[in-house]
Amino acid sequence: MDELRAMSPCAGLLPITVGTLTVTEADVGPITSVTPFTGASTAALGRALGVPFPAPLHSTGDARRRCIWVGQGEALLMGAPPAPSLGAYAAVVDQSDAWAVVTLTGPGGADALARLVPVDMRLAAFGLGATARTQLGHMHASITRAGEDEFMIAVFRSMAATLVHDLATALAAVAARR
């Protein structure tokens, strides 16, 4: 009989380093989709989340607990489970197994992403805490600037191998130009 084993989305694929850039799998903990109910109190929502609900194209919090805007009236809470009281203010769905999350670090990350996304990822245009739901190659992705030289990229779990392949190709192209 076959034995099932739990594996992360990027098991055996990461880490990779090309030139000054590194891609690693990020363990962001639980991932919860949060869609506030009409008329929900922003203050009460923030208390239940543990961080403020993000404005469009932004994220709130830090690596331990981060809330990322992913569309009109929707965010992903990463890093900690929500308080049980959140259900009074929002529709809440555990999506922990649905996402593959990687971190791209190092100088030149924006140059690599410029080959894959139709968004200006340079620090001047995409500052700390900025987030975008965009195309990455042919995948839907959420990209958040987590540091000056750090991007957190989330795609659906089924696209993990494609994400790693596309990033490796972009990293190699950037390294070849240096």
Render pLDDT for 115-149 as a digit per residue (tens, 0 to 9). Answer: 999 999 999 999 999 999 999 999 999 999 999 99
Question: Rounded mean pLDDT of the chain?
Answer: 96
pLDDT above 90: residue 56: yes
Share of the chain above pLDDT 90, in %: 94
Confidence tier at 177 by pLDDT (50, 70, 90)? confident
Q: Which residues are bridge partners to 68 per DSSP?
A: 59, 76
Question: Any residues with CB less than 8 A from the CB of 133 and at least 6 apart, and which?
Answer: 69, 70, 71, 140, 141, 142
Question: Do 133 and 56 touch, CB atoms closer than 8 A?
Answer: no
Render pLDDT for 21-46 as a digit per residue (tens, 0 to 9). Answer: 999 999 999 999 999 999 999 899 99
User: What is the reported pTM?
Assistant: 0.95
Domains of the chain with CATH codes: 16-28+97-177 (3.30.1360.120), 31-94 (3.30.70)
d(C-alpha 110, C-alpha 126), whole Å: 9
What pLDDT was estimated at residue 6?
A: 87
What pLDDT was estimated at residue 98?
A: 96
